[in-house]
Amino acid sequence: MTKKRKSRGRSKGGKGRSGLIQCDNCGSLVPRDKAKRVTSRVSLVEPSLARELRAAGTYIAAPLMTKFYCVSCAVHYGFVKVRAREERRFR
């Protein structure tokens, strides 16, 4: 059987079965080690108010928001690029 990717599309290595999580976009069940994780900062204050508060010298916390996407949603939103056959095995 030919191998399309060196990692077989996952990051689990030689471990057994990994748990399933839901894609935050479409809701499909994806193995945790195969899902694409996207971390971004989320502001809890709207930008115009944040500008005024920063001018007054306050600190505005922006917590990290972690989302998991299935491969098809990650490609659709541009988090992962489609690569040529020769480039797929290497990062």
The pLDDT-based confidence of 91 (bands split at 50, 70, 90) is low
Phi, psi (degrees; rounded to nearest 5) at 50: -65, -40
pLDDT at 89 over 80: no
pLDDT digits (tens, 9 = 90+) for 55-72: 999 999 999 999 999 999
Q: What's the pLDDT score for residue 6? A: 80
Structural domains of the chain, with CATH: 20-76 (3.30.1740.20)
Give the contacts of 48 (CB within 8 A, at least 6 positions apart): none
Tens digits of per-residue pLDDT, 1-44?
A: 887 788 888 888 888 889 999 999 999 999 999 999 999 999 99
